[in-house]
Chains A and B, each alone.
Chain A
Amino acid sequence: MTDIVDPHVVAAAGDPPDVPDATHGLSHVTSTGISNEKLGMWVFLGSECLLFGGLISTFLLYKNRAGYGDLNETPHELYDILFTSISSFVLLMSSLTMVLAVSAIQRGDHRALRTWLAATALMGGIFISGQVYEFKEFLNAGYGFTHSPAWSAFFGLTGFHGVHVTLGIIMLLSCILLSLSGRIRQDNAESVEIVGLYWHFVDVVWIIIFTVVYLIK
């Protein structure tokens, strides 16, 4: 077996040079050079596009089918664009704090990591509170989830997104806890980065929702 090489050195890129095997095959190096976890997360996010796409399309198809009789207002007629703009802005800025958290742990700055994570989670929390408030306003106006296709689609889409944000907050808080217990180290900063990817994704989805669902009439 002369052609066994150290996979540390060569990853599927043409004919490898001959280097004696040192690892018995248990490779820490991947063919693409990216870790499995990060690649897996991105692959997963690619698929999430189709999931959110389905719900966004449902909303676009139904947005004017708001109901009959007295309670026939579309979501667009009830939006408070300024309010939503502010909460969207908060969510957008949480992407900044998230990325600063990642950069902090890459520097090995654990305190900054926790601070930024907390800030991110807090901003996510503000966004969710805003959403809860908005939902309550609509409910008070008489429009619930079961009112009409338009309202089902509105609550379905934004609620679904809200659940994603909530899950993200839970992940952020877990990261803070793990960091406090010393389980997040500089050399596994990637775990924070991956949580960050999820968080940013939830944010970019909102960028789309904010424009397509709120701003465009």
Chain B
Amino acid sequence: MSADATTVPAPAGDTHADEHHGATDGLFVKTAIILAIITAIEVAWSYLPWSDWGDGTAMVLIEVGGLIIMMGVKFVIVASVFMHLRFDSKVLTRVFYAGLALAIAVYVGTLATFEFFTGGHSWN
């Protein structure tokens, strides 16, 4: 935000005009519609009889992968549009996604050591 906007009580109307480049109510509504559509696809997707189709495990991978991708898309849309990350300073994006990336890294690492990485001689 500009220096003026923060220090001088600005006249009504344009205080934050410069801050939200193009973040209009119309955009928000459109975004919400897109989110709604993705959610509908997600739910439908999860109802599809994946395991009946072809090679079971591969299909399950597609199912899960698809759900994860749709989830990611929704997440990014909300963060960028509703939470204004797209329109705000990059610093905000960095601190937030740093936390998110770190969380994904350490927790995926942890779950992986539980699930896959036994290797060697094992009784379990």
Do A and B assemble together? yes
Residues of A within 8 A of B (CB): 8-9, 28-29, 32-35, 38-39, 42-43, 45-50, 52-54, 56-57, 60-61, 81-82, 85, 88-89, 92-93, 95-96, 98-100, 103, 106-108, 186-187, 189, 193, 196-197, 200-201, 203-204, 207-208, 210-212, 215-216
Contact B43 A197 (CB under 8 A): no
B interface residue count range (under 10 / 10 to 19 / 20 to 34 / 35 or more): 35 or more
Please tell me which one of the listed residues B46, B64, B100, B102 contacts residue A81 in the complex, with CB atoms under 8 A apart. B46
Contact B107 A57 (CB under 8 A): yes
Interchain CA distance A38-B96 in the complex, whole Å: 12
- Nearest chain-B residue to A50 (Cβ)? B103
Asked, given contacts A60-B111, A96-B32, whether A49 binds B99 with beta carbons under 8 Å apart, the answer is yes
Interfacial chain A residues near B124, Cβ < 8 Å: none
Residues of B within 8 A of A (CB): 1-3, 5-7, 9-10, 12-13, 15-16, 20, 23-25, 28-29, 31-32, 35-36, 39, 42-43, 45-47, 64, 67-68, 70-71, 74-75, 78-79, 81-84, 88-89, 91-92, 95-100, 102-104, 106-107, 110-111, 114
Interchain CA distance A48-B98 in the complex, whole Å: 12
Asked, given contacts A29-B7, A103-B28, whether A46 binds B95 with beta carbons under 8 Å apart, the answer is yes
